[in-house]
């Protein structure tokens, strides 16, 4: 793919050492639909719902990411049919909103966002964030993202995952088995290691063993250079790459909406986590997150547990307990 004929930069830096962000907020959040109804009285995708505190999960994620990445370098992936939910939260004229015509999983969402970043002049590293996580210490969490970013500057061909120190044998999470550490003198906070293996939603007995061995939860926060991510897509998901790559010439033009609608209408759904787990060789690193409480809020029970741990008892909680 060539970017020699791309347009002038629109609010992005051409510095190959800079960091951009991608926030994934285009899902339907069906597993939390009953809880969202208990909170708001109607169906609201979880990323637009104030599950923890007064802000929506999307607002909390954008605020957290902005501690490290300038807001004009943060891509937010959304779905067109959710406009009534995100319109009050975002400036719809921003060039860094990635509006999908429908949901085809996180792989197309991330590749589309990467192409938009390149079109707008960014060729440095990228950090990818889900929008449905609870993070106890935003500042410390983003310091770990910064450390992962430094690792990508030192080794641009590698992809760095952030792994969470597990506090229980959770069988509904993905786990990362770390291998031997890599010596990065300039990366602080935690030792970066190679990824030996992924364990996806293990049986409870196996989850107990993974926990006892100190394996990590997969946070699905990923940091890599744009080149490394595009290379991953081209090698591991070549059909998706071939279909989406032509978008580069029409992004930020009047043809983009029609082109993306046509392409998405033909796409099969695929998740980025599948692409990562198909990766081979010594390209994947994991950086453990130390000293930060974390929870994936994909299930109602996890939301309620997190609220109880924080001592937050919203007025809707008695209704929600029965969901």
Higher per-residue pLDDT: 12 or 110: 110
Q: Which helix (H) or strand (E) holds 119?
A: helix 106-119
Q: What is the pLDDT of residues 114-156, one digit of tens each?
A: 999 999 999 999 999 999 999 999 999 999 999 999 989 988 9
Q: Is the pLDDT of residue 228 over 80?
A: yes
Q: Does residue 161 fall inside a structural domain? A: yes
User: Considering the entire predicted model, what is its pTM?
Assistant: 0.91
Q: Does residue 11 fall inside a structural domain? A: no
Cα–Cα distance, 153 to 203 (Å, whole number):
37
Q: What is the arithmetic mean of pLDDT over 168-177?
A: 94
Q: Are 2 and 12 in contact (CB under 8 A)?
A: no
| Residue 81 banded pLDDT, cuts 50, 70, 90 | very high
Q: Does residue 233 fall inside a structural domain? A: yes
Q: Is the pLDDT of residue 4 over 70?
A: no
Cα–Cα distance, 89 to 131 (Å, whole number):
14
Q: Does residue 182 fall inside a structural domain? A: yes
Q: Does residue 5 fall inside a structural domain? A: no
Query: 242 lies in which domain range?
Result: 19-318
Cα–Cα distance, 50 to 301 (Å, whole number):
16
Cα–Cα distance, 271 to 173 (Å, whole number):
15
Q: Does residue 8 fall inside a structural domain? A: no
CATH number, domain with residue 119: 3.90.550.10
Q: Does residue 157 fall inside a structural domain? A: yes
Tell me how many domains the chain contains.
1
Q: Does residue 103 fall inside a structural domain? A: yes
């Amino acid at each position: 793919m060539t970017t020699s004929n791309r347009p002038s930069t629109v609010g992005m830096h051409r510095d190959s050492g800079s960091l951009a962000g991608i926030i994934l907020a285009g899902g339907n959040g069906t597993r939390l639909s009953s809880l969202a109804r208990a909170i708001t009285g109607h169906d609201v995708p979880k990323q637009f719902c104030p599950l923890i505190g007064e802000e929506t999960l999307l607002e909390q994620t954008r605020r957290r990411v902005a501690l490290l990445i300038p807001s004009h370098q943060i891509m937010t992936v959304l779905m067109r049919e959710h406009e009534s939910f995100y319109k009050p939260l975002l400036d719809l004229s921003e060039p860094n909103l990635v509006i999908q015509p429908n949901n085809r999983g996180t792989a197309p969402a991330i590749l589309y966002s990467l192409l938009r970043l390149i079109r707008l002049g960014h060729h440095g590293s990228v950090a990818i964030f889900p929008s449905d996580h609870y993070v106890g210490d935003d500042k410390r969490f983003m310091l770990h993202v910064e450390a992962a970013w430094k690792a990508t500057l030192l080794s641009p061909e590698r992809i760095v995952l952030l792994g969470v120190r597990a506090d229980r044998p959770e069988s509904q999470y993905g786990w990362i088995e770390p291998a031997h550490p890599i010596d990065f003198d300039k990366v602080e906070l935690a030792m970066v290691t190679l990824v030996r293996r992924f364990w996806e939603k293990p049986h409870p007995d196996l989850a107990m063993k993974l926990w006892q061995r100190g394996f990590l939860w997969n946070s699905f926060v990923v940091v890599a250079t744009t080149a490394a991510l595009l290379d991953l897509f081209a090698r591991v998901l070549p059909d998706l790459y071939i279909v989406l790559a032509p978008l580069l010439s029409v992004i930020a033009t009047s043809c983009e909406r029609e082109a993306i609608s046509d392409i998405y209408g033909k796409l099969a759904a695929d998740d980025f986590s599948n692409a990562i787990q198909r990766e081979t060789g010594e390209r994947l690193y994991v950086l453990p997150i130390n000293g930060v409480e974390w929870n994936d809020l994909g299930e109602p029970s996890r939301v309620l547990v997190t609220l109880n741990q924080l001592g937050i008892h919203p007025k809707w909680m008695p209704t929600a307990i029965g969901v």
